[in-house]
Chains A and B, each alone.
Chain A
Amino acid sequence: DAGVIQSPRHEVTEMGQEVTLRCKPISGHDYLFWYRQTMMRGLELLIYFNNNVPIDDSGMPEDRFSAKMPNASFSTLKIQPSEPRDSAVYFCASSQSIGANEQFFGPGTRLTVL
């Protein structure tokens, strides 16, 4: 398996622009997670899905952030409008409910908002 795939790997944009981050989970995994990592706050869970349904979005910072999972193999995290304080590394992870629920992470998207 190719593991969790994220795109783009790097994104530089200007304040006010819309940003869309993409994730393909490991095939057969029924949980998908979006995390944000910054030096100040470490790793934070933003939202997670189970069988394409959002279960907990309490970590989403504000209405500018939205996430969707239209099918089992694809998810997006959208920021509109983007702000400089959104600059961070965004990780996607997936796991399966059967077994140990071990989470596997993608390589991340480094977002810079100017």
Chain B
Amino acid sequence: KQEVTQIPAALSVPEGENLVLNCSFTDSAIYNLQWFRQDPGKGLTSLLLIQSSQREQTSGRLNASLDKSSGRSTLYIAASQPGDSATYLCAVRPTNFGNEKLTFGTGTRLTIIP
């Protein structure tokens, strides 16, 4: 059974710093990995999706990497801003055809201190 872990559960950093969020998964047989952000009381917003054949994806100040063999992904946020404060979740999709079930991590609650 796939298990997805995100450590730490909470992180506070001063504005302007670069930071890395971690995601680990136990079964490397994944089709893709998706990073989401969730603001308090809101739904999930998709940030980046990395296919299993890719090593990284970039969008603006965000860069997500994937090392499938070691079961790890990181989300790098450059020049952090107070607006980046949110909970960040990663989710993996299995490889078997037609299986769309995502397994989510428990998230990292990020606070950017002005």
A and B physically associate: yes
B81 at the interface (CB under 8 A from A): no
A65 at the interface (CB under 8 A from B): no
Contact B98 A55 (CB under 8 A): yes
| Count, chain B residues at interface, CB 8 A | 24
Minimal beta-carbon separation of A51 from chain B (angstroms): 12
Interface membership of chain B positions 7-28, coded 1 if the CB is closer than 8 angstroms to chain A and 0 otherwise: 0000000000000000000000
Contact B104 A43 (CB under 8 A): yes
Of the four ranges (under 10, 10 to 19, 20 to 34, 35 or more), the interface on chain A belongs to 20 to 34
Residues of B within 8 A of A (CB): 31-32, 34, 36, 41-46, 49, 51, 89, 91, 93, 98-102, 104-107
Contact B102 A108 (CB under 8 A): no
Main secondary structure on chain B at its contact with chain A?
strand
| Closest B residue, CB atoms, query A43 | B104
Which residue of A33, A45, A56, A106 is within 8 Å of B43 (Cβ)? A106
In the complex, what residues of B have CB within 8 A of residue A107's CB? Answer: 42-43
**Can you sample 28 A-B contacts with CB below 8 Å?**
A4-B43, A42-B106, A42-B107, A43-B89, A43-B91, A45-B101, A45-B102, A48-B100, A50-B98, A55-B98, A55-B100, A93-B44, A95-B100, A100-B51, A101-B32, A101-B93, A101-B100, A102-B49, A103-B34, A103-B91, A103-B102, A104-B46, A105-B36, A105-B44, A105-B45, A105-B46, A106-B43, A107-B43
